[in-house]
Amino acid sequence: MQNAVDPALAQEFVSFAVQAGVLRFGEFKTKAGRLSPYFFNAGLFDDGAKLGRLAEFYARRLLTDGAQRIEFDMIFGPAYKGITLAAALAVELARRGRNVPYAYNRKEAKDHGEGGSLVGARVAGRVLIVDDVISAGTSVRESIAMIGAAGGQPCGVVIALDRQERATEGGRDVPWSAVQYVARELQLSVAAIATLDDLLVYLSHTADPSLAAFAAPVQAYRDRYGV
């Protein structure tokens, strides 16, 4: 199940991502070999102020009241980007009065000290996976396996941006996105702070002509590769 996006929160987030230089425009080659007129690089939330603001958006998205709210007991951040996101989100949730444990994985298991591939709190209860985007669903599938093996129950995924873009399998486009795959096939709720459609709304209303010029290319990309 894909949880509905809050339009006001989404526009606020897109504006922040553009101003922070995390959402960029031009010509970028994606992993699927497509030429995209925009690029979202969450690795550029690279200082305390930007990371703290990003955590606020995640927390506000998760704490929104409504029937589609994801209920969770702890947070899991898949290596590598998810580690920082999970830690920052846990801090922000605690600041807002919701103190929850978090854990993350190592890429290689440790054979000394505490050992194993998981670090942080004991994985138990309803576990929410936090990441920047879902590109192919591989990270989510790996997280599900680790969480289940540790005794937890994956309950959902929260991401910053849903690119609403057709996934590829075996070098071919398929008629669903990675987010749709996770929601439908893996039966996990997916909540995004914003979507590509929200970015298009932002570009169509911006007063900055240098940004408005990308509305048509992004729309054309959405028309060609979108779901």
Annotated catalytic residue 112: yes
Annotated catalytic residue 205: no
Residue of 31, 50, 107, 112 marked active site: 112
Strand positions, DSSP E, the chain: 23-29, 35-40, 74-77, 102-110, 116-120, 125-130, 152-162, 166-169, 172-177, 189-195
What backbone phi and psi angles, to 5 degrees, belong to 165?
-120, 140
Residue 4 burial (C-beta neighbours within 10 Å; 0-12, 13-18, 19+): exposed
**Rounded Cα distance, 185 and 25, in Å:** 32
- CA 63, 69, 71, 76 torsion-angle sign: negative
Peptide bond into 181 cis (omega under 30): no
Residue of 29, 31, 50, 110 marked active site: 110
- Residue 63, C-beta contacts closer than 8 angstroms, at least 6 positions apart: 69, 93, 96, 98
Task: Specify the DSSP element, H or E, that contains 65.
Answer: none
**Amino acid letter for position 1:** M
**Rounded Cα distance, 55 and 83, in Å:** 12
Task: Please give the positions annotated as active site.
Answer: 110, 112
